[in-house]
């Protein structure tokens, strides 16, 4: 039964990644249909991000009241409805309206499901699960391309993903007894939160180490999203590559993350979360330095690949170590706030670099990434000093 539930969670992570890259792949067609400026995609992204921040902050309350299984099923259902709403939207303002349940559903399931895995499964599964998210995020554009080249339009691309999310919702509803059964049959009492008190944001921030882990997560997600958004522009405007070649090179960053998380799952058998995070930070540092080297295309290729590989273990290992650092009774609250900080980092820091690129120089991208990395490293080491280590035993 435990393995069956794990398979469902793997499926859920693939499905969660499917819609995340849809807007970017469909927008070149969508904005023309709605007769709006191409920059309006940013408005939809911000609405979705704000929804995820709100629902992430409420994840502790929702999970303690309804349980992880129900929160996951309801959240995926909300996402499915929102995606179907996208597919039938006749105007831009309707897209903005449907973006609200999209964001609210994404934030809750992300925080709740990550905490459940952190409590009940070993670190290698967290890495492999986030690798599966990357698989889903990679498949999304292909499904959209299939819709566009098959004589349909972007609406059908969203509808296909909506149908897959509806199917997952049904699977999650059927599997609800497995979630509670897994918790009841767990042999370690520290895996099941016994404290039903819902912590306020002020209480969470006052926990030793909470501010440091929040800032670490903020910096990591800012670094990842900034690289994702600006790598191609950096290669075109600074390295002098064509847009087509730059897009191909920029994809190495995502390939590095996906492959890195698959490999990280095996490495966690020998290395603990702290060692994995430090290893990732070291590879990241090397990748940024290589990107700075004036050796043309070779340094750009190797630099972006190393940055992706360095990013790979950091996100899942920070999440997985949360119960060990803060206790199982506080982990859901901490992870919810971590997710909110992650979304804030992805919203605020890439546009800030956009201003730097516009008014100073796009060539400063590696320096910007280096600043984020060094601040993340400082906060993470401070976190390690401020929290008491512990060991979680698994089934």
How many CB atoms within 10 Å of residue 296?
11
197: DSSP letter: P
Residue 38 predicted with pLDDT over 80:
no
Secondary structure (DSSP) of 379-392: HHHHHHHHS-----
Residue 392 predicted with pLDDT over 60:
no
Three-state secondary-structure class, residue 106: helix
Report pLDDT for 196. Answer: 59
Q: Distance (Å, rounded) from C-alpha 78 to C-alpha 327? A: 30
b/e map 45-61, b = 16+ CB within 10 Å:
bebbbbbbbbbbbbbbe
CA triplet 217, 115, 74: central angle to 5 degrees? 110
User: In Å, how far from its chain's centre is CA 25?
Assistant: 18
Work out whether the CA dihedral 296, 298, 302, 304 comes out positive or negative.
positive
Residue 1 predicted with pLDDT over 80:
no
Q: What percent of the chain has pLDDT over 70?
A: 92
Summarize the confidence of residues 353-379 as an average pLDDT: 92
Angle between the 297-311 and 210-237 helix axes, to the nearest 10 degrees? 160
Quick one: tokens of 155?
């609406």
From 3.20.20.60, 1.20.1250.20, 3.40.50.300, 1.20.90.10, which CATH number describes the 206-386 domain?
Answer: 1.20.1250.20
Report pLDDT for 187. Answer: 44
Average pLDDT of the chain? 85
How many CB atoms within 10 Å of residue 233?
17
Task: Please indicate whether residue 42 or residue 44 has the higher confidence score (pLDDT).
Answer: 44
Q: Which CATH architecture has domain 2-177?
A: Up-down Bundle (1.20)
Q: Which of 112, 114, 121 is nearest to 71 (CA)?
A: 112
Report pLDDT for 190. Answer: 36
Which residues touch 150 (CB under 8 Å, ≥6 apart)?
156
Report pLDDT for 87. Answer: 93
Q: Distance (Å, rounded) from C-alpha 320 to C-alpha 111? A: 12
Residue 358 predicted with pLDDT over 60:
yes
User: In Å, how far from its chain's centre is CA 4?
Assistant: 24
Secondary structure (DSSP) of 245-300: HHHHHHHHHHHHHHHHHHHHHHHTTTS-HHHHHHHHHHHHHHHHHHHHSS-THHHH
Q: Distance (Å, rounded) from C-alpha 80 to C-alpha 327? A: 33
Is 331 within 8 Å of 323 (Cβ atoms)?
yes
Report pLDDT for 131. Answer: 86
Q: Distance (Å, rounded) from C-alpha 314 to C-alpha 308? A: 11
What pTM does this model have? 0.79
Report pLDDT for 112. Answer: 82
In the chain, residues under CATH classification 1.20.1250.20 are: 2-177, 206-386
Q: What percent of the chain has pLDDT over 90?
A: 33
pLDDT tens for 62-117 read: 888 888 889 889 999 999 999 999 999 999 999 999 999 998 988 877 788 888 88
Residue 138 predicted with pLDDT over 80:
no
Residue 314 predicted with pLDDT over 70:
yes
Report pLDDT for 166. Answer: 94
Report pLDDT for 327. Answer: 86
pLDDT tens for 177-228 read: 888 765 555 544 334 444 556 777 888 888 888 999 999 999 999 999 888 8
Residue 319 predicted with pLDDT over 70:
yes
Report pLDDT for 357. Answer: 86
Report pLDDT for 263. Answer: 93
Residue 238 predicted with pLDDT over 70:
yes
pLDDT tens for 328-352 read: 888 888 988 888 898 889 888 888 8
Is 300 within 8 Å of 251 (Cβ atoms)?
no
């Amino acid at each position: 039964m435990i393995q069956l539930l794990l398979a469902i969670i793997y499926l859920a992570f693939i499905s969660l990644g499917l819609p995340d890259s849809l807007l970017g792949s469909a927008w070149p067609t969508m904005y023309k249909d709605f007769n709006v400026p191409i920059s309006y995609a940013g408005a939809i992204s911000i609405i979705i991000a704000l929804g995820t921040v709100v629902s992430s902050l409420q994840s502790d309350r929702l999970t303690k009241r309804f349980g992880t299984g129900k929160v996951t099923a309801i959240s995926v259902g909300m996402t499915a409805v929102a995606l179907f709403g996208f597919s039938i939207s006749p105007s831009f303002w309707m897209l903005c309206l449907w973006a609200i349940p999209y964001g609210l559903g994404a934030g809750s399931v992300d925080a709740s499901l990550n905490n459940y895995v952190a409590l009940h499964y070993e670190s290698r599964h967290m890495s492999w699960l986030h690798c599966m998210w990357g698989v889903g995020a990679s498949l999304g554009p292909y499904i959209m391309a299939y819709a566009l080249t098959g004589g349909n339009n972007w609406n059908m691309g969203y509808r296909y993903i909506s149908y897959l999310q509806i199917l997952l919702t049904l699977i999650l509803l059927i599997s609800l007894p497995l979630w509670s059964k897994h918790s009841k049959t767990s042999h370690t009492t520290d895996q099941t939160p016994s404290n039903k008190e819902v912590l306020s944001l002020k209480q969470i921030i006052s926990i030793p180490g909470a501010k440091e882990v929040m800032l670490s997560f903020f910096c990591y997600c800012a670094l990842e999203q900034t690289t994702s958004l600006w790598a191609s522009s950096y290669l075109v405007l600074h390295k002098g590559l064509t847009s087509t070649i730059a897009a191909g090179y920029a994809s190495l960053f995502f390939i590095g993350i996906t492959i890195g998380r698959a490999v990280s799952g095996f490495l966690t058998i020998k290395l603990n979360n702290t060692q994995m995070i430090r290893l990732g930070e070291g590879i990241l540092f090397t990748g940024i330095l290589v990107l700075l080297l004036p050796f043309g295309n070779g340094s750009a290729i190797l630099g972006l690949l190393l940055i992706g590989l360095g990013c790979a273990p950091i996100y899942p290992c920070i999440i997985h170590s949360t119960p060990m650092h803060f206790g199982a009774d506080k982990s859901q609250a901490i992870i919810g706030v971590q997710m909110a900080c992650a979304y804030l980092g992805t919203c605020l820091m890439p546009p800030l670099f956009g201003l730097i690129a516009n008014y100073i120089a796009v060539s400063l991208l590696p320096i910007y990434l280096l600043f984020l990395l060094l601040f993340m490293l400082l906060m993470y080491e401070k976190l390690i000093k401020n929290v008491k280590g512990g060991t979680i035993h698994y089934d």
